[in-house]
Structure 1
Amino acid sequence: MALHGPLKTSIATAWMAGARLLRVRPALTILYYHAVPDHLRDGFARQMDILAAETDVVFADFEGDVGGDRPMVAITFDDAFTSVARNAVPILAERRLPATVFAPSGWLGQKAGWAMESLHDQAETVMSADQLRAIQSPLLRIGSHSIDHVQMAAVGPEEAARQAAVSRSALEEVCGQKVDEFAFPYGSLNDAAVQAVHGAGYRRAYSVMPERIGSGHAAILRGRTAVEPSDTERLFRLKMHGAFCWMPLASRLKHALRA
Protein backbone atom coordinates (compact mmCIF):
# COMPACT_ATOMS: atom_id res chain seq x y z
CA MET A 1 0.00 0.00 0.00
CA ALA A 2 1.46 3.34 -1.09
CA LEU A 3 2.07 5.68 1.84
CA HIS A 4 3.56 8.58 -0.07
CA GLY A 5 1.86 11.90 -0.74
CA PRO A 6 1.60 15.15 1.21
CA LEU A 7 -1.88 14.53 2.64
CA LYS A 8 -1.07 11.11 4.10
CA THR A 9 2.24 12.37 5.44
CA SER A 10 0.55 15.40 7.04
CA ILE A 11 -2.05 13.21 8.74
CA ALA A 12 0.68 10.85 9.95
CA THR A 13 2.66 13.81 11.32
CA ALA A 14 -0.41 15.05 13.19
CA TRP A 15 -1.03 11.54 14.54
CA MET A 16 2.56 11.36 15.76
CA ALA A 17 2.29 14.70 17.54
CA GLY A 18 -0.95 13.62 19.21
CA ALA A 19 0.54 10.29 20.27
CA ARG A 20 3.44 12.05 21.96
CA LEU A 21 1.13 14.55 23.67
CA LEU A 22 -1.11 11.76 24.96
CA ARG A 23 1.86 9.52 25.77
CA VAL A 24 0.50 6.63 23.73
CA ARG A 25 2.30 3.43 24.70
CA PRO A 26 4.84 2.00 22.27
CA ALA A 27 3.65 -0.83 20.04
CA LEU A 28 5.00 -3.22 17.44
CA THR A 29 5.12 -1.92 13.87
CA ILE A 30 5.91 -4.41 11.09
CA LEU A 31 7.66 -2.92 8.07
CA TYR A 32 7.78 -4.56 4.66
CA TYR A 33 10.17 -3.98 1.79
CA HIS A 34 10.36 -5.42 -1.72
CA ALA A 35 13.60 -4.77 -3.64
CA VAL A 36 16.77 -3.24 -2.22
CA PRO A 37 18.59 -2.32 -5.46
CA ASP A 38 22.30 -1.55 -5.53
CA HIS A 39 21.92 2.23 -5.76
CA LEU A 40 19.68 2.27 -2.66
CA ARG A 41 21.90 0.04 -0.51
CA ASP A 42 23.30 3.02 1.45
CA GLY A 43 19.80 4.37 2.09
CA PHE A 44 18.73 0.99 3.43
CA ALA A 45 21.82 0.89 5.67
CA ARG A 46 20.95 4.30 7.12
CA GLN A 47 17.43 3.10 7.88
CA MET A 48 18.77 0.03 9.65
CA ASP A 49 21.11 2.24 11.69
CA ILE A 50 18.09 4.24 12.86
CA LEU A 51 16.22 1.08 13.83
CA ALA A 52 19.23 -0.36 15.65
CA ALA A 53 19.76 2.86 17.63
CA GLU A 54 16.18 3.84 18.44
CA THR A 55 13.99 0.72 18.47
CA ASP A 56 13.91 -2.88 19.60
CA VAL A 57 13.89 -5.01 16.44
CA VAL A 58 12.07 -8.33 16.76
CA PHE A 59 10.59 -10.97 14.46
CA ALA A 60 7.17 -10.18 12.99
CA ASP A 61 5.50 -12.97 14.98
CA PHE A 62 6.65 -11.53 18.34
CA GLU A 63 4.13 -12.35 21.06
CA GLY A 64 5.58 -10.79 24.22
CA ASP A 65 5.08 -7.44 25.93
CA VAL A 66 5.43 -4.52 23.53
CA GLY A 67 4.88 -1.77 26.09
CA GLY A 68 8.50 -0.97 26.88
CA ASP A 69 10.30 2.36 26.72
CA ARG A 70 11.22 1.99 23.05
CA PRO A 71 9.03 1.18 20.08
CA MET A 72 9.29 -2.31 18.62
CA VAL A 73 9.79 -2.85 14.90
CA ALA A 74 9.87 -5.98 12.74
CA ILE A 75 11.48 -6.13 9.29
CA THR A 76 10.03 -8.20 6.45
CA PHE A 77 10.63 -8.54 2.71
CA ASP A 78 8.07 -9.67 0.15
CA ASP A 79 9.02 -11.55 -3.05
CA ALA A 80 12.51 -12.79 -2.01
CA PHE A 81 14.30 -10.74 -4.65
CA THR A 82 18.00 -11.37 -5.24
CA SER A 83 18.79 -7.74 -4.42
CA VAL A 84 17.65 -8.48 -0.86
CA ALA A 85 20.19 -11.31 -0.60
CA ARG A 86 22.89 -9.15 -2.17
CA ASN A 87 22.31 -5.86 -0.36
CA ALA A 88 19.93 -6.16 2.59
CA VAL A 89 21.01 -9.44 4.19
CA PRO A 90 24.66 -8.42 4.80
CA ILE A 91 23.54 -5.11 6.33
CA LEU A 92 21.10 -6.89 8.62
CA ALA A 93 23.75 -9.42 9.63
CA GLU A 94 26.28 -6.70 10.47
CA ARG A 95 23.77 -5.13 12.86
CA ARG A 96 22.36 -8.46 14.08
CA LEU A 97 18.82 -7.45 13.14
CA PRO A 98 16.20 -10.20 12.67
CA ALA A 99 14.03 -10.31 9.55
CA THR A 100 11.66 -12.53 7.56
CA VAL A 101 11.71 -13.04 3.78
CA PHE A 102 8.49 -14.18 2.09
CA ALA A 103 9.08 -16.19 -1.09
CA PRO A 104 6.67 -17.24 -3.89
CA SER A 105 7.67 -20.90 -4.19
CA GLY A 106 6.74 -21.25 -7.87
CA TRP A 107 9.01 -18.40 -8.97
CA LEU A 108 12.30 -19.46 -7.36
CA GLY A 109 15.27 -18.66 -9.58
CA GLN A 110 13.15 -16.86 -12.18
CA LYS A 111 12.72 -13.26 -13.28
CA ALA A 112 9.67 -11.87 -11.52
CA GLY A 113 6.77 -11.92 -13.96
CA TRP A 114 3.72 -10.77 -12.04
CA ALA A 115 2.12 -7.30 -12.18
CA MET A 116 4.26 -4.69 -10.43
CA GLU A 117 4.21 -0.90 -10.21
CA SER A 118 7.84 -0.26 -9.26
CA LEU A 119 10.43 -0.22 -12.05
CA HIS A 120 12.98 -1.50 -9.54
CA ASP A 121 10.83 -4.54 -8.83
CA GLN A 122 10.18 -5.23 -12.51
CA ALA A 123 13.92 -5.72 -13.08
CA GLU A 124 14.26 -8.21 -10.22
CA THR A 125 14.85 -11.95 -10.11
CA VAL A 126 13.51 -14.17 -7.32
CA MET A 127 16.11 -15.99 -5.25
CA SER A 128 16.85 -19.58 -6.20
CA ALA A 129 16.45 -22.48 -3.77
CA ASP A 130 20.20 -22.39 -3.10
CA GLN A 131 20.09 -18.65 -2.39
CA LEU A 132 17.18 -19.07 0.03
CA ARG A 133 19.08 -21.76 1.89
CA ALA A 134 22.18 -19.58 1.96
CA ILE A 135 20.50 -16.59 3.62
CA GLN A 136 18.84 -18.63 6.37
CA SER A 137 20.18 -18.06 9.87
CA PRO A 138 18.87 -17.79 13.43
CA LEU A 139 18.17 -14.14 12.59
CA LEU A 140 16.62 -14.66 9.16
CA ARG A 141 13.49 -16.70 8.54
CA ILE A 142 11.72 -17.77 5.36
CA GLY A 143 7.94 -17.47 4.96
CA SER A 144 5.51 -18.15 2.13
CA HIS A 145 4.21 -15.67 -0.42
CA SER A 146 1.99 -18.27 -2.16
CA ILE A 147 3.07 -20.41 -5.13
CA ASP A 148 2.37 -18.05 -7.99
CA HIS A 149 2.10 -14.61 -6.34
CA VAL A 150 -1.68 -14.67 -6.83
CA GLN A 151 -4.42 -12.47 -5.42
CA MET A 152 -5.67 -14.84 -2.76
CA ALA A 153 -9.05 -13.13 -2.42
CA ALA A 154 -9.74 -13.54 -6.13
CA VAL A 155 -8.80 -17.17 -6.79
CA GLY A 156 -11.50 -18.79 -4.63
CA PRO A 157 -11.24 -20.82 -1.41
CA GLU A 158 -10.01 -24.08 -2.97
CA GLU A 159 -7.22 -22.47 -4.96
CA ALA A 160 -6.28 -20.25 -2.02
CA ALA A 161 -5.94 -23.36 0.14
CA ARG A 162 -3.76 -25.01 -2.53
CA GLN A 163 -1.56 -21.93 -2.87
CA ALA A 164 -1.04 -21.85 0.89
CA ALA A 165 -0.47 -25.58 1.44
CA VAL A 166 1.69 -26.38 -1.59
CA SER A 167 3.93 -23.34 -1.14
CA ARG A 168 4.45 -24.25 2.49
CA SER A 169 5.47 -27.82 1.64
CA ALA A 170 7.77 -26.67 -1.16
CA LEU A 171 9.54 -24.08 0.98
CA GLU A 172 9.92 -26.48 3.89
CA GLU A 173 11.61 -28.93 1.53
CA VAL A 174 13.90 -26.20 0.23
CA CYS A 175 14.75 -24.74 3.62
CA GLY A 176 14.73 -27.86 5.76
CA GLN A 177 12.76 -26.14 8.50
CA LYS A 178 9.19 -25.27 9.41
CA VAL A 179 7.49 -22.53 7.39
CA ASP A 180 4.49 -21.19 9.30
CA GLU A 181 4.20 -17.53 8.29
CA PHE A 182 2.43 -16.24 5.17
CA ALA A 183 2.34 -12.81 3.52
CA PHE A 184 -0.60 -12.12 1.20
CA PRO A 185 0.57 -11.04 -2.28
CA TYR A 186 -0.74 -7.56 -3.13
CA GLY A 187 -2.39 -7.58 0.31
CA SER A 188 -5.30 -9.37 -1.39
CA LEU A 189 -7.32 -11.18 1.26
CA ASN A 190 -10.78 -11.90 2.59
CA ASP A 191 -12.15 -14.13 5.35
CA ALA A 192 -12.00 -17.22 3.13
CA ALA A 193 -8.37 -16.56 2.19
CA VAL A 194 -7.35 -16.04 5.81
CA GLN A 195 -9.16 -19.24 6.76
CA ALA A 196 -7.39 -21.11 3.94
CA VAL A 197 -4.01 -19.94 5.21
CA HIS A 198 -4.87 -20.88 8.77
CA GLY A 199 -6.12 -24.28 7.61
CA ALA A 200 -2.82 -24.90 5.83
CA GLY A 201 -1.02 -24.71 9.16
CA TYR A 202 0.28 -21.16 9.29
CA ARG A 203 0.53 -19.45 12.68
CA ARG A 204 0.74 -15.90 11.35
CA ALA A 205 -0.37 -14.13 8.19
CA TYR A 206 0.42 -10.59 7.12
CA SER A 207 -1.46 -7.95 5.16
CA VAL A 208 -0.28 -4.64 3.69
CA MET A 209 -2.52 -2.47 5.85
CA PRO A 210 -0.62 -0.47 8.51
CA GLU A 211 -1.24 -1.49 12.11
CA ARG A 212 0.21 -0.82 15.57
CA ILE A 213 0.24 -4.20 17.31
CA GLY A 214 -0.20 -4.21 21.06
CA SER A 215 0.53 -6.85 23.68
CA GLY A 216 -1.72 -9.91 23.61
CA HIS A 217 -2.45 -9.71 19.86
CA ALA A 218 -3.79 -13.24 19.30
CA ALA A 219 -5.31 -12.97 15.81
CA ILE A 220 -3.55 -14.82 12.98
CA LEU A 221 -3.58 -11.69 10.77
CA ARG A 222 -1.22 -8.78 11.38
CA GLY A 223 -0.89 -5.57 9.42
CA ARG A 224 2.31 -4.14 7.99
CA THR A 225 3.58 -0.76 6.82
CA ALA A 226 5.15 -0.36 3.37
CA VAL A 227 8.63 1.15 3.37
CA GLU A 228 11.17 1.89 0.64
CA PRO A 229 14.95 2.27 0.91
CA SER A 230 14.46 5.62 -0.84
CA ASP A 231 12.14 7.02 1.85
CA THR A 232 13.29 10.26 3.43
CA GLU A 233 14.41 10.07 7.04
CA ARG A 234 11.31 11.98 8.13
CA LEU A 235 8.96 9.60 6.31
CA PHE A 236 10.84 6.54 7.54
CA ARG A 237 10.60 7.69 11.16
CA LEU A 238 6.85 8.21 10.80
CA LYS A 239 6.51 4.69 9.45
CA MET A 240 8.65 3.03 12.10
CA HIS A 241 6.57 4.67 14.83
CA GLY A 242 3.32 3.37 13.32
CA ALA A 243 2.06 6.83 12.39
CA PHE A 244 0.03 5.48 9.45
CA CYS A 245 -2.07 3.20 11.66
CA TRP A 246 -5.12 5.38 10.99
CA MET A 247 -5.30 4.20 7.38
CA PRO A 248 -7.45 1.07 7.96
CA LEU A 249 -10.12 3.25 9.59
CA ALA A 250 -9.92 5.74 6.73
CA SER A 251 -10.26 2.90 4.23
CA ARG A 252 -13.33 1.49 5.97
CA LEU A 253 -14.90 4.95 6.13
CA LYS A 254 -14.22 5.49 2.43
CA HIS A 255 -15.90 2.21 1.52
CA ALA A 256 -18.87 2.98 3.78
CA LEU A 257 -19.40 6.34 2.11
CA ARG A 258 -19.34 4.69 -1.32
CA ALA A 259 -21.86 2.02 -0.33
Structure 2
Amino acid sequence: MRSEAAVPVLLYHAVRDDPPPWIAPFTVTPAEFGRHLDRVSASGRVPIGLDRFTEALHGGRDLPRESVLITFDDGYADFARYALPQLVERDLPVTLYVTTDALWPTPNPVLPPAAMLSWRELRRIADAPGLTIGAHGCTHRELDTLPIESMHREIACSRQRLEAELERPVTSFAYPFGYNDAAVRAAVRHAGFRTAMAVRDAHSSREDDPWRISRLMVRADTGPDRLDAWLAGAGPRVAPFRDGLPTLGWRAWRRIRARRRGRPDPRHEHSDPVAGRAG
Protein backbone atom coordinates (compact mmCIF):
# COMPACT_ATOMS: atom_id res chain seq x y z
CA MET A 1 0.00 0.00 0.00
CA ARG A 2 1.33 3.42 -0.97
CA SER A 3 1.44 6.18 1.67
CA GLU A 4 1.87 9.84 0.86
CA ALA A 5 3.09 10.43 4.42
CA ALA A 6 5.98 7.93 4.14
CA VAL A 7 9.54 9.21 4.49
CA PRO A 8 12.03 6.44 3.62
CA VAL A 9 15.12 6.65 5.85
CA LEU A 10 17.57 4.20 4.30
CA LEU A 11 20.04 2.42 6.58
CA TYR A 12 23.31 1.07 5.15
CA HIS A 13 26.23 -0.54 6.92
CA ALA A 14 29.07 -1.48 4.54
CA VAL A 15 29.86 -0.87 0.87
CA ARG A 16 32.56 -3.17 -0.49
CA ASP A 17 33.16 -6.13 -2.77
CA ASP A 18 34.73 -8.51 -0.25
CA PRO A 19 33.09 -8.11 3.19
CA PRO A 20 33.92 -10.34 6.15
CA PRO A 21 31.29 -13.11 6.37
CA TRP A 22 29.66 -11.70 9.51
CA ILE A 23 28.76 -8.37 7.86
CA ALA A 24 28.17 -9.72 4.32
CA PRO A 25 24.35 -9.94 4.71
CA PHE A 26 24.34 -6.19 5.40
CA THR A 27 26.79 -5.17 2.65
CA VAL A 28 26.26 -3.91 -0.89
CA THR A 29 28.95 -3.63 -3.52
CA PRO A 30 30.20 -0.18 -4.62
CA ALA A 31 28.63 -0.68 -8.06
CA GLU A 32 25.31 -1.70 -6.52
CA PHE A 33 25.42 1.25 -4.14
CA GLY A 34 25.87 3.58 -7.09
CA ARG A 35 22.82 2.05 -8.76
CA HIS A 36 20.86 2.54 -5.53
CA LEU A 37 21.80 6.21 -5.46
CA ASP A 38 20.81 6.63 -9.10
CA ARG A 39 17.40 5.14 -8.26
CA VAL A 40 17.06 7.59 -5.36
CA SER A 41 17.89 10.48 -7.70
CA ALA A 42 15.46 9.24 -10.37
CA SER A 43 12.62 8.54 -7.92
CA GLY A 44 11.39 12.12 -7.66
CA ARG A 45 12.13 12.06 -3.93
CA VAL A 46 13.84 15.11 -2.42
CA PRO A 47 17.01 14.05 -0.55
CA ILE A 48 17.24 16.01 2.69
CA GLY A 49 19.84 16.25 5.43
CA LEU A 50 19.32 15.33 9.04
CA ASP A 51 19.08 18.95 10.20
CA ARG A 52 16.07 19.58 7.96
CA PHE A 53 14.35 16.42 9.18
CA THR A 54 15.12 17.24 12.82
CA GLU A 55 13.59 20.68 12.43
CA ALA A 56 10.40 19.20 10.97
CA LEU A 57 10.08 16.54 13.68
CA HIS A 58 10.36 19.22 16.34
CA GLY A 59 7.57 21.30 14.82
CA GLY A 60 9.58 23.55 12.55
CA ARG A 61 9.11 24.15 8.85
CA ASP A 62 7.48 21.39 6.86
CA LEU A 63 9.27 18.85 4.71
CA PRO A 64 9.29 18.63 0.94
CA ARG A 65 6.27 16.61 -0.16
CA GLU A 66 8.35 13.46 -0.84
CA SER A 67 11.56 13.34 1.17
CA VAL A 68 14.22 10.65 1.60
CA LEU A 69 17.20 10.33 3.95
CA ILE A 70 20.33 8.16 3.72
CA THR A 71 22.15 6.91 6.82
CA PHE A 72 25.09 4.63 7.65
CA ASP A 73 25.86 2.85 10.92
CA ASP A 74 29.07 1.70 12.63
CA GLY A 75 31.89 3.52 10.81
CA TYR A 76 33.57 1.08 8.43
CA ALA A 77 36.55 2.24 6.40
CA ASP A 78 34.73 1.57 3.15
CA PHE A 79 32.38 4.48 3.89
CA ALA A 80 35.18 6.95 3.13
CA ARG A 81 36.56 4.97 0.20
CA TYR A 82 33.45 3.80 -1.66
CA ALA A 83 30.28 5.37 -0.26
CA LEU A 84 31.02 9.01 0.49
CA PRO A 85 32.59 9.87 -2.91
CA GLN A 86 29.50 8.58 -4.71
CA LEU A 87 27.20 10.52 -2.42
CA VAL A 88 29.18 13.74 -2.87
CA GLU A 89 29.28 13.24 -6.63
CA ARG A 90 25.48 13.10 -6.72
CA ASP A 91 25.00 15.87 -4.15
CA LEU A 92 23.17 13.52 -1.76
CA PRO A 93 23.29 14.27 1.99
CA VAL A 94 24.12 11.44 4.39
CA THR A 95 24.43 10.84 8.12
CA LEU A 96 27.14 8.52 9.47
CA TYR A 97 26.65 7.08 12.97
CA VAL A 98 29.98 6.13 14.54
CA THR A 99 30.76 3.51 17.19
CA THR A 100 33.54 5.43 18.90
CA ASP A 101 35.51 2.59 20.50
CA ALA A 102 35.57 0.70 17.21
CA LEU A 103 37.58 3.35 15.37
CA TRP A 104 41.26 2.71 14.76
CA PRO A 105 43.50 2.65 16.70
CA THR A 106 41.83 0.98 19.65
CA PRO A 107 43.33 -1.55 22.06
CA ASN A 108 40.00 -3.36 22.55
CA PRO A 109 38.03 -3.78 19.31
CA VAL A 110 34.31 -3.86 20.06
CA LEU A 111 33.05 -5.30 16.77
CA PRO A 112 34.09 -8.47 14.94
CA PRO A 113 37.07 -8.04 12.59
CA ALA A 114 36.51 -5.50 9.83
CA ALA A 115 38.41 -2.50 8.51
CA MET A 116 37.20 0.53 10.45
CA LEU A 117 37.68 4.25 9.92
CA SER A 118 40.48 5.83 11.92
CA TRP A 119 39.99 8.96 13.97
CA ARG A 120 42.36 10.74 11.60
CA GLU A 121 40.26 9.72 8.61
CA LEU A 122 37.02 10.67 10.33
CA ARG A 123 38.41 14.14 11.01
CA ARG A 124 39.50 14.36 7.36
CA ILE A 125 36.05 13.62 5.95
CA ALA A 126 34.05 15.50 8.59
CA ASP A 127 33.70 18.59 6.39
CA ALA A 128 32.62 16.70 3.27
CA PRO A 129 29.58 18.35 1.62
CA GLY A 130 26.32 16.99 2.97
CA LEU A 131 27.88 14.79 5.67
CA THR A 132 26.53 14.77 9.23
CA ILE A 133 28.21 12.66 11.90
CA GLY A 134 26.24 11.16 14.77
CA ALA A 135 26.95 8.87 17.72
CA HIS A 136 26.34 5.11 17.81
CA GLY A 137 27.46 4.29 21.34
CA CYS A 138 30.95 3.50 22.55
CA THR A 139 31.02 -0.28 22.39
CA HIS A 140 27.92 -1.18 20.31
CA ARG A 141 26.10 -2.83 23.19
CA GLU A 142 22.40 -3.53 23.58
CA LEU A 143 21.47 -0.46 25.57
CA ASP A 144 18.10 -1.75 26.75
CA THR A 145 19.75 -4.69 28.56
CA LEU A 146 22.46 -2.72 30.40
CA PRO A 147 22.50 -1.48 34.00
CA ILE A 148 21.34 2.12 34.09
CA GLU A 149 24.79 3.58 34.81
CA SER A 150 26.43 1.66 31.95
CA MET A 151 23.64 2.64 29.60
CA HIS A 152 24.00 6.35 30.37
CA ARG A 153 27.78 6.11 29.98
CA GLU A 154 27.54 4.44 26.57
CA ILE A 155 25.28 7.21 25.32
CA ALA A 156 26.94 10.28 26.85
CA CYS A 157 30.57 9.25 26.37
CA SER A 158 30.15 8.54 22.67
CA ARG A 159 28.88 12.07 22.14
CA GLN A 160 31.62 13.59 24.27
CA ARG A 161 34.36 11.73 22.40
CA LEU A 162 33.04 12.72 18.99
CA GLU A 163 32.63 16.37 19.96
CA ALA A 164 36.17 16.45 21.38
CA GLU A 165 37.67 14.85 18.27
CA LEU A 166 35.65 16.74 15.66
CA GLU A 167 35.26 20.07 17.50
CA ARG A 168 31.59 20.42 16.57
CA PRO A 169 28.21 19.60 18.12
CA VAL A 170 26.92 16.05 17.76
CA THR A 171 23.16 16.05 18.13
CA SER A 172 21.92 12.72 16.79
CA PHE A 173 22.25 9.16 18.07
CA ALA A 174 21.58 5.73 16.53
CA TYR A 175 20.74 2.83 18.82
CA PRO A 176 23.07 -0.15 18.33
CA PHE A 177 21.04 -2.93 16.65
CA GLY A 178 18.12 -0.48 16.78
CA TYR A 179 17.37 -1.62 20.34
CA ASN A 180 15.77 0.90 22.70
CA ASP A 181 13.03 1.33 25.27
CA ALA A 182 11.52 4.28 27.17
CA ALA A 183 14.46 4.45 29.62
CA VAL A 184 17.04 4.42 26.81
CA ARG A 185 15.18 7.12 24.90
CA ALA A 186 14.98 9.26 28.05
CA ALA A 187 18.73 8.86 28.53
CA VAL A 188 19.35 9.97 24.95
CA ARG A 189 17.27 13.10 25.51
CA HIS A 190 19.05 13.73 28.83
CA ALA A 191 22.42 13.49 27.06
CA GLY A 192 21.41 16.37 24.81
CA PHE A 193 20.63 14.60 21.55
CA ARG A 194 17.81 16.07 19.47
CA THR A 195 17.10 12.92 17.45
CA ALA A 196 17.79 9.20 17.62
CA MET A 197 17.53 6.51 14.95
CA ALA A 198 15.95 3.13 15.55
CA VAL A 199 15.43 0.51 12.82
CA ARG A 200 11.92 -1.02 12.89
CA ASP A 201 12.06 -1.76 9.11
CA ALA A 202 9.35 0.81 8.53
CA HIS A 203 8.89 4.18 6.87
CA SER A 204 9.35 7.27 8.98
CA SER A 205 7.08 10.31 8.66
CA ARG A 206 6.65 13.95 9.64
CA GLU A 207 4.83 12.66 12.75
CA ASP A 208 7.48 10.15 13.82
CA ASP A 209 8.99 10.13 17.32
CA PRO A 210 12.22 12.23 17.10
CA TRP A 211 13.95 9.79 19.49
CA ARG A 212 12.80 6.62 17.71
CA ILE A 213 13.00 7.38 13.99
CA SER A 214 12.07 4.39 11.87
CA ARG A 215 14.50 3.25 9.20
CA LEU A 216 14.53 0.72 6.36
CA MET A 217 17.58 -1.53 6.54
CA VAL A 218 19.24 -2.13 3.19
CA ARG A 219 20.62 -5.66 3.01
CA ALA A 220 22.66 -7.56 0.45
CA ASP A 221 19.44 -9.04 -0.95
CA THR A 222 17.55 -5.74 -1.21
CA GLY A 223 16.74 -5.78 -4.89
CA PRO A 224 15.74 -2.89 -7.16
CA ASP A 225 12.03 -3.70 -6.98
CA ARG A 226 12.02 -3.49 -3.19
CA LEU A 227 14.05 -0.28 -3.18
CA ASP A 228 11.73 1.26 -5.77
CA ALA A 229 8.72 0.29 -3.65
CA TRP A 230 10.25 1.94 -0.60
CA LEU A 231 10.97 5.09 -2.59
CA ALA A 232 7.37 5.08 -3.82
CA GLY A 233 6.16 5.03 -0.20
CA ALA A 234 4.83 1.49 -0.56
CA GLY A 235 5.40 -1.71 1.39
CA PRO A 236 6.23 -1.34 5.08
CA ARG A 237 3.97 0.54 7.47
CA VAL A 238 4.52 4.17 8.43
CA ALA A 239 5.58 5.38 11.87
CA PRO A 240 4.53 6.24 14.47
CA PHE A 241 3.11 2.95 15.73
CA ARG A 242 3.28 0.93 18.93
CA ASP A 243 5.73 -1.91 19.47
CA GLY A 244 4.15 -5.25 18.65
CA LEU A 245 4.23 -8.42 20.70
CA PRO A 246 7.19 -9.91 18.73
CA THR A 247 9.32 -6.86 19.57
CA LEU A 248 8.30 -6.88 23.23
CA GLY A 249 8.90 -10.60 23.52
CA TRP A 250 12.28 -10.38 21.79
CA ARG A 251 13.33 -7.58 24.16
CA ALA A 252 12.33 -9.63 27.20
CA TRP A 253 14.24 -12.66 25.92
CA ARG A 254 17.38 -10.60 25.28
CA ARG A 255 17.26 -9.20 28.81
CA ILE A 256 17.06 -12.70 30.26
CA ARG A 257 19.96 -13.79 28.05
CA ALA A 258 22.02 -10.76 29.06
CA ARG A 259 21.59 -11.59 32.74
CA ARG A 260 22.60 -15.20 32.16
CA ARG A 261 25.44 -14.78 29.66
CA GLY A 262 26.66 -11.20 29.74
CA ARG A 263 27.25 -9.30 26.52
CA PRO A 264 26.29 -11.30 23.39
CA ASP A 265 28.52 -11.78 20.37
CA PRO A 266 27.70 -8.95 17.90
CA ARG A 267 28.01 -11.41 15.01
CA HIS A 268 25.00 -13.28 16.34
CA GLU A 269 23.00 -10.08 16.68
CA HIS A 270 23.61 -8.93 13.11
CA SER A 271 22.50 -12.30 11.78
CA ASP A 272 19.36 -12.55 13.88
CA PRO A 273 16.18 -12.32 11.80
CA VAL A 274 14.31 -10.41 14.51
CA ALA A 275 17.02 -7.81 15.19
CA GLY A 276 15.94 -5.52 12.37
CA ARG A 277 12.45 -5.25 13.84
CA ALA A 278 13.57 -4.04 17.26
CA GLY A 279 11.74 -0.95 18.43
Displacement of 1:247 in angstroms is 9.7
| Structure 1 residue identity aligned to 2:62 | D
Note closer, same or farther for the CA distance 1:202–1:255 as it changes in structure 2 (3 Å cut): closer
Selected match of 1:234 from 217, 225, 237: 225
Query: TM-score, with normalisation over the residues of structure 1?
Result: 0.79
Q: Is 1:135 the equivalent of 2:125? A: yes
Selected match of 2:101 from 99, 103, 106: 106
Secondary structure at 2:78's aligned position in 1?
A: helix
Matched with 1:124 is 114
Displacement of 1:28 in angstroms is 1.5
Displacement of 1:210 in angstroms is 2.8
Secondary structure at 1:212's aligned position in 2?
A: coil
C-alpha separation in 1, matches of 2:102 and 2:249: 39
Identity %: 29
Secondary structure at 2:8's aligned position in 1?
A: strand
C-alpha separation in 2, matches of 1:150 and 1:28: 28
Say whether the 8 Å CA contact 2:12–2:217 is kept in structure 1. yes
- Runs of 5+ consecutive residues of structure 1 not aligned to the other structure: 1-14, 116-121
Q: Is 1:49 the equivalent of 2:38? A: yes
Say whether the 8 Å CA contact 2:204–2:215 is kept in structure 1. no
Say whether the 8 Å CA contact 1:26–1:72 is kept in structure 2. no
Matched with 1:145 is 136
Matched with 1:31 is 10
Paired residues, number = 230
- Runs of 5+ consecutive residues of structure 2 not aligned to the other structure: 19-28, 253-279
Could you say what the CA RMSD is over the residues aligned between the two structures, in angstroms?
A: 2.8
C-alpha separation in 2, matches of 1:100 and 1:48: 15
Query: TM-score, with normalisation over the residues of structure 2?
Result: 0.73
C-alpha separation in 1, matches of 2:197 and 2:248: 24
C-alpha separation in 1, matches of 2:152 and 2:91: 35
Q: Residue deviations 1:159-214, cap 9 Å, x none? A: 11111111101001111111010000011211111111111110000111133333
Say whether the 8 Å CA contact 2:34–2:86 is kept in structure 1. yes
Selected match of 2:167 from 161, 176, 189: 176
Matched with 1:65 is 62
C-alpha separation in 1, matches of 2:248 and 2:102: 37
| Structure 2 residue identity aligned to 1:189 | N
Matched with 1:92 is 87
Note closer, same or farther for the CA distance 1:43–1:255 as it changes in structure 2 (3 Å cut): closer
Q: Residue deviations 1:100-129, cap 9 Å, x none? A: 1011111111599556xxxxxx55222111
Which runs of structure 2 are paired with 1:159-198 in the superposition (5 Å)? 159-198=150-189
| Structure 2 residue identity aligned to 1:128 | S
Say whether the 8 Å CA contact 1:203–1:220 is kept in structure 2. yes
Displacement of 1:256 in angstroms is 8.1
